[in-house]
Structure 1
Amino acid sequence: MDIDRMVALFVRIGAPVLDSMIARGGGDFIGEFGAPLQARVIAETLGAPELAGKIPAWVDALSSGPLEPPERQEILGAALASLRFELERVIDASRETSSDNLSGALDQRNADSGLCRAATLSFLGLWLVAAWETTIQLLANLVIAWSACPEACEASAGDVAGRARLVEEVLRLTPAVHAIDRIATENVSLFGETIPENAIVLAFIAAANSDDEIFPHPRRFDPNRDHSALLSFGQGAHYCLGAKLATLQAAALAGMLAERSVRIGLRDEPLPWRWTLSLRTLPRLDIAFSRA
């Protein structure tokens, strides 16, 4: 998968959309910019740009809650069948043409490791949902930070290294994933308490990213701070597969905003946050653009 090509695609498609929103004085950033662009990027990453229009419905079906009432089960079943059919088609086509995309590369690696096609399909379905919500929210959180701290954002967005630090600070202060669950593989003693083997542990990333012993003045927005202990994408073997692509997309957006010298205002106060145990996301982000 060529990440640089994906980022270039993001800029090529996103720039005219952003210019249109600026010319109109604003709009729904998620509905007009974040969601359509991420659908296209995911589809291209899978190796099937023609699937961009189907991705939002798949994500909605796969992540919309409990399997009740029965109609919900029917919607989920239909979405899974459609997704499986399309991914199988893309994987087979990738093998025939030796295409460079995530679907084909993962399937080949799994096959070489003795894993079945079902493992590839399961991973791709999980990745599709995760890449959708978290990246869209990262882009939205960058826009929100820009509205609150325009001078700091503009100062950081002037070069590649500064944009990277800016995105890391947005990820630290407002991670889309607030918590992750893990299972203890053995008894663990921690702060005088014992976590028993097989217990489910909920680790709060947002709290760790605001630990004042690691990040001095943690509620202060400071792109120039040390982000080496950042946990927003996990760590070790569980580090997010899409972290590099997501951060480069957000950095590209920062560059586009800086080039256009705009001010951003939020039209919804308070913002319509949706909360789950692990996520904090927005269904929409209505913003106003003005020239700086």
Structure 2
Amino acid sequence: MTTEATSTPQSADEALVTLLTPPYPDDPFPLYETLRAANPVHQSAALGAWALSGYDEVTEFLRRPDTHSGARAAALRRQDWADHPSLRLYLNSMVTLNQPDHARVRGLASGVFTPAKIKKMRPAVERLTRGLVDELVERSADGEAVDLVDLLAMPFPVAVISELLGLAYEDGKRLWELADDWSRVFAGIYPEDDLVRADTAAEELGGYFREKVRVRRADPKEDLLSSLVQAADGGRLDEDELIALILFLFTAGFAATTNLIASGVVALVEHPDELSRWREDKSITDPAVEELLRHTTHTTASSRLTTKPVRLGDAEIPEGSLVLALLAAANRDPAKFPDPHRLDLTRDDGAHLSLSAGAHYCFGGSLARMEGAELFPQLIDTFPKIELAGTPERRAILGLTGYATLPVRLSR
């Protein structure tokens, strides 16, 4: 465990560079501790940026209305950004927009992607959960290992958001693969191989959704996609913003849940007492889902650009500074969450930051919570024994965490 006596600005810089340089560490938390021990508001000489690793500092900063998207700034600094379909699409997405455009687009989405619409999805979520768990029973009956990402963590949320939007599930699976490739530009760092994959994905995604928009204009349905098209046609969005919003909602609809399922299962296997506790007492389901969200933190960081000097603690961050708000570090800050690395399914230490905070709070959060609360109880009741059957393969994308594969053995 790093202490203030052993952590210095230099060691904090080294930790930050390691966090941001491939291959990304499997266990980043000692590095977060090094950063926090040096200073929860760390000015990096190596990167020319600031890194926030304390819960209070990250929360306060994300709630400020006077910052701009750091990812947007990074993309626009590329002289060739307009030549890349992935960057053009990303710069029109809600997650990168600054005010007042962000409020305009989010306001339209909020009027369509409502809590009432999500609540109406519960019967579909229950049906899809039963079908996928039944398939797991069949596929694991001979004792063979199965890939929980391929058979559950990916298809479950993709099926839900596809049904909500009014897309065929067969289309949704392909879109998931494409959106995963497109997400390689989200971090603001663009290795050539990642950019090529993201551009190819963005071209296909844009073409697919433009055709769907054309069809819905001609023949509206009772689905979220038709509602978005009708709302946008009132003049509040241009065509590129509409396509980016639809794709963003699709991506937000599966990304958090895919990670919650896969990383949540790993966390439960590593904490068997907590897994048994949940099996015996389903009344803890809501706090258990929140704790899994805190413990796994899919989006590990959020970047912002200051538009005026910002004082946090004893530090003053100048105008025009790039600031990395390390959500995963904040979620393991012992000043906020005692014994932060322990999974405690009844933890009641306040709100985590896995879904961010402030104006850019994650749009898919309520859907992810409902899906997790439905799926985990069924999964752990159906399979009294869940164990890893190999080494899970992590997703190697900066700023995002999770698993590409998760081999498990399930026993009844």
Q: Same fold (TM over 0.5)?
A: yes
| 161 and 188 in structure 1: CA distance in 2 versus 1, 3 angstrom threshold | farther
In structure 2, distance between residues paired with 1:151 and 1:257: 16
Q: Measure the CA separation in 1 of the matches of 2:242 and 2:401.
A: 28
5+ residue gaps, structure 2, are 1-116
Query: Which amino acid counterpart does residue 220 of structure 2 have in structure 1?
Result: E
Q: Which amino acid aligns with 1:211?
A: D
Please tell me whether residue 210 in structure 1 is matched to residue 210 in structure 2: no
- Indicate how the Cα distance of structure 1 residues 114 and 149 shifts in structure 2: closer, same or farther if over 3 A, else same: same
Matches within 5 A, 1:55-94: 55-64=175-184, 66=190, 68=192, 72=197, 75-76=200-201, 78-89=203-214, 91-92=216-217
- Please point out which of 19, 38, 45 is paired with 2:157: 38
Q: Which amino acid is the alignment partner of residue 156 of structure 1?
A: W
Name 1:18's counterpart in structure 2: 136
Judge conservation of contact 1:9–1:41 (CA < 8 Å) in 2.
no
Is residue 246 from structure 1 mapped to residue 365 from structure 2 by the alignment? no
Q: Which amino acid aligns with 1:124?
A: I
Provide the C-alpha distance between the structure 1 equivalents of 2:253 and 2:367, rounded to a whole number of angstroms: 10
Aligned residue for 2:220?
96
The CA deviation at 1:248 is: 1.6
1:257 aligns with 2:257: no
AA aligned opposite 2:132: G
Whether the 8 Å CA contact 1:138–1:171 is kept in 2: the answer is yes
> How many Å separate the matches in 1 of 2:233 and 2:350?
35
Q: Secondary structure at the residue paired with 1:283?
A: strand
| Between 194-203 and 204-213, the greater mean CA deviation after superposition | 194-203
Task: Output aligned runs, 1:1-292, within 5 Å.
Answer: 1=117, 2-25=120-143, 26-49=145-168, 51-64=171-184, 66=190, 68=192, 72=197, 75-76=200-201, 78-89=203-214, 91-92=216-217, 96-97=220-221, 99=222, 101-112=223-234, 114-157=236-279, 161-269=283-391, 271-291=392-412
What secondary structure, in the 3-state scheme, does the structure 1 residue paired with 2:411 have? strand
Query: 1:176-235 deviations in whole A, cap 9, x for unaligned?
Result: 111111232321012332222333321111111111111111111111111532111112
* Aligned partner letter, 1:286: P
Q: Secondary structure at the match of 1:289?
A: strand
| 216-225 vs 273-282, which moves further | 273-282
Distance 1:90 1:288, change over 3 A: farther
> Displacement of 1:82 after TM fit?
2.7
Instruction: Give the distance between the partners of 2:400 and 2:134, measured in 1 at CA.
Output: 30
Rg (Cα) greater in structure? 2
One-letter identity of the residue aligned with 2:240: A
Q: What amino acid maps onto 1:262 in structure 2?
A: P
Taking the aligned partners of 1:47 and 1:218, their CA distance within structure 2 comes to 40
Do the aligned partners of residues 49 and 175 (structure 1) sit closer, same or farther apart at CA in structure 2, a change above 3 Å counting?
Answer: same
Percent pairwise identity: 29
Distance 1:169 1:74, change over 3 A: closer
Counterpart amino acid of 1:117? E
In the alignment, the residues of structure 1 paired with residue 380 and residue 202 of structure 2 have an alpha-carbon distance, to the nearest angstrom, of: 44
What TM-score, normalized by structure 2, do the two folds share?
Answer: 0.63
RMSD: 2.7
- The answer to whether the 8 Å contact 2:206/2:243 transfers is no
TM-score (ref. length: structure 1): 0.86
Unpaired runs of at least 5, structure 1: none
91 and 260 in structure 1: CA distance in 2 versus 1, 3 angstrom threshold: same
SS at match of 2:141: helix
Question: In 1, are the aligned partners of 2:330 and 2:353 still within 8 Å (CA)?
Answer: yes
Q: CA deviation at 1:125?
A: 1.6
C-alpha separation in 1, matches of 2:199 and 2:343: 45
Q: How many residues align?
A: 287
CA gap 1:82/1:20 in 2 versus in 1, 3 angstroms = farther
Residues 16 and 227 of structure 1: CA distance in aligned 2, closer, same or farther (over 3 Å): farther
CA deviations on 1:213-262 (whole Å, 9 max, x unpaired) are 11111111111111532111112322211111112212222111232242
